């Protein structure tokens, strides 16, 4: 089930305008190799961040392992 757009949300900000163009193309290529869309990846990122599975660190992101997980 996908996420619903906020009512009245007409003009979304594009990821491609927020990152360096070369980085965007590399990211898009890697995502497509996995058979996903950029929207799928962004949704997974947002859900992971909200749930606490990934966290912002000083130099990037870290994966938070559950207790007892290897």
What is the value of pTM for the model shown?
0.66
Structure tokens belonging to residue 10: 């007409």
3-state secondary structure labels for all residues of 27-55 = HHHHHHHCCCCHHHHHHHHHHHHHHCCEE
Predicted local confidence at residue 24, as pLDDT: 87
Question: Is it the case that residue 2 has pLDDT exceeding 80?
Answer: no
Query: Where in the chain are the domains?
Result: 16-63
What are the phi and psi torsion angles at 25 (to 5°)?
-65, -40
Which of 14, 7, 64, 8 is closest to 38 using CA atoms?
A: 14
């Amino acid at each position: 089930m996908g996420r619903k757009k906020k009512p009245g949300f007409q003009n979304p900000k594009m990821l491609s305008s927020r990152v360096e163009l070369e980085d965007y193309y590399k990211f898009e290529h890697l995502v497509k190799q996995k058979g996903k869309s950029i929207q799928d990846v962004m949704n997974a990122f947002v859900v992971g961040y909200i749930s606490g599975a990934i966290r912002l660190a000083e130099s990037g992101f870290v994966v938070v392992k559950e207790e007892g997980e290897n």
